[in-house]
Amino acid sequence: MSDSWKLTLPCTRAEAEAINAGAIEIDAVLMTTELVEDDLERWQLDAYSECEPDARMIAAVRALVPSAAGVAPVIVALTDADWVAMSQQGLEPIREGRFVVYTEAHPIVPGAGERGFLINAGQAFGTGHHATTSGCLAMLDTLSDRQFAKVIDLGTGTGLLAFAARHLWPDAQVTATDIDPVAIEVTRENAALNAVDGVDLIVADGARHPLITAAGPYDLIIANILAGPLIAMAPEIAAIAGPHATIVLAGLLAAQAEAVQAAYRAAGCTVEQADTRGDWTILRLTAAAEPVTGLASNDEGRENWARDI
C-alpha cells in the first residue's frame, strides 16, 4: 500500500498564481512549479495526498487549471518516498535578516554577521521557504534589540524558529513543542546538525501541557500553525504569556487575519504589527498586563494542526 500519492497536471503561470489553497476544499497539498524560466505557459501543478486520488479529487484539481483540459493527469504512488521531502526538492537558500536557511542540495557559506541553518526537507514543516516561516524569521530579527528571558515555539516543526530565537537570545530559556512526535525528533536531529543546544523539547497538544505551564510564563511566544488552532488556542496562549509579552503568530491566510486578531483581542492582546506576504499574514501582538480570566479554549478548532508546505 502506498504511503502517499502525487497527481500532476500542466498549468500556466496565471493559473498557478490564482490558486488559493486556503479556500479550496481538496484533501491534498498543492505545489506549483515553474518548468521553464520566464515561460508563462510552462508551469506544473502537483497535488500531494495520503490517499489515492479518486474521481472527485481529480475533478477538483483539474478545475484549477482549465488550460489542462483534455490532458490526462499523471498519478504516481510514492511508496518509498516522503512526500513532503519530494515536494520541497531543489529549494534554493533564503536570507531573512541575519538568517540564512539552506539544504544539503544547495549549500551556502553564511556571510559576515549571518547565522546559517541547514534544514533539509523532510517529515516536518519549516524549512524557511514558506512565507509563514520566512516571515517569522524576519519578525524575530526585528525584535533582536529586545530582551527575552523565556521563549516558547508552539508547533515547532523542524525547530528552525526555536533555533533562531536561541541565536538571538542565547541566555534565554527556549522551549520548542509540537503535537507530532516525529517533528520533535526532527527538531532534535536538526539541533545536533546545526550545533544548537539548550532548547527544551516537548511533545504537546497546544499550550496546556503541564511541562509548558510549569515553565511559564513566557515573554516571547511563537506559534506558526494554522488559523483554526490559533483561534481556538487564543485563551491558553494568553494564559501562558507574561505581562506585556510579545506574541508572534503565523500560518494564517491574509483573509483569516481579522478573525485571528479578534480572538486575541478578546484574550486581552493588542495587535502591534501585521506583515502580509502573498496570501499569508504574520502577526505581532502584545499580551495584556494580566491574564484575562473566564476564557475557554475551543477544542473543536484544535483538531487539525496540519501545516501547509
Q: Which residues are annotated as a binding site for S-adenosyl-L-methionine?
A: 133, 155, 178, 224
Rounded distance between C-alpha atoms, residue 131 and residue 95, angstroms: 12
Classify 135 as helix, strand or coil. Answer: helix
Q: How far apart are CA 84 and CA 69, in angstroms?
A: 27
Exposed/middle/buried for residue 244 (C-beta within 10 Å: 0-12, 13-18, 19+): exposed
Q: From the annotation, which residues make up the binding site?
A: 133, 155, 178, 224
DSSP state of 273: E
- Cell matching residue 114: 549571518
List CB contacts of 248: < 8 A, sequence separation 6 or more. 136, 139, 140, 220, 221, 222, 223, 224, 282, 283, 284, 285
Can you tell me whether residue 242 is helix, strand or coil? strand
Measured in degrees and rounded to the nearest 5, phi and psi for residue 31 equal -130, 135
Instruction: Please state, in angstroms and rounded to a whole number, the distance separating the CA atoms of residues 138 and 293.
Output: 32
CB 117 within 8 A of CB 89: no
Which CA distances in Å does 227 have to 32, 88, 251, 280, 291? 23, 23, 6, 11, 22
CA–CA dist 190, 123 (Å, integer):
12
Residues 6 or more apart whose CB falls under 8 angstroms from that of 244 comprise 286, 287, 288, 289
- Residue 264 CA to residue 181 CA, distance in Å, equals 28
